[in-house]
Structure 1
Amino acid sequence: MGLGRLMVTLKSKIRSLKIMKKPDYDKVEKSESMRMEIRSRKARKLIEETLKVADSPKSKAFAF
């Protein structure tokens, strides 16, 4: 019984250390140009997926 309790205590301490670990880098603020690039990538991906579905002979068109 004593060994089991020791293992539970050690596991909980290890988990608490992992949670409290801080990242080793500074967070970079996104500029407006970075936001525009992200939006345009998402838009291109959405257009690509839509065209793929529309060109597929097996699938039906979306009913919006």
Structure 2
Amino acid sequence: MAVIARLDRLVVSLKSKLKSLKVKKPYHKIEKTDSMRVEIKSRKAIKIIEQTLKIADSPKSKTYAF
């Protein structure tokens, strides 16, 4: 029984040492290309236009015909 207990403790200590030795790779941020920037801007513009149309089409909003 004592041998099994010592082996259990040895396994636990080895596992903890191995976990501490693992080196996490740093996350490398991907640089945005010009096409990615254009896509982001167009998505934002579409979202703003949709919000504006939703407000303009709502019956609660007061719209003025010029």
2:49 corresponds to 1:37: no
Report which of the two structures shows the higher radius of gyration computed on alpha carbons. Answer: 2
Q: TM-score, normalised by structure 2?
A: 0.54
Q: CA deviation at 1:59?
A: 1.6
5+ residue gaps in structure 2? 1-24
5+ residue gaps in structure 1? 1-22
User: What is the identity percentage for the equivalent residue pairs of Structure 1 and Structure 2?
Assistant: 67
User: Paired residue for 1:14?
Assistant: none
Report the number of matched residues: 39
RMSD: 1.7
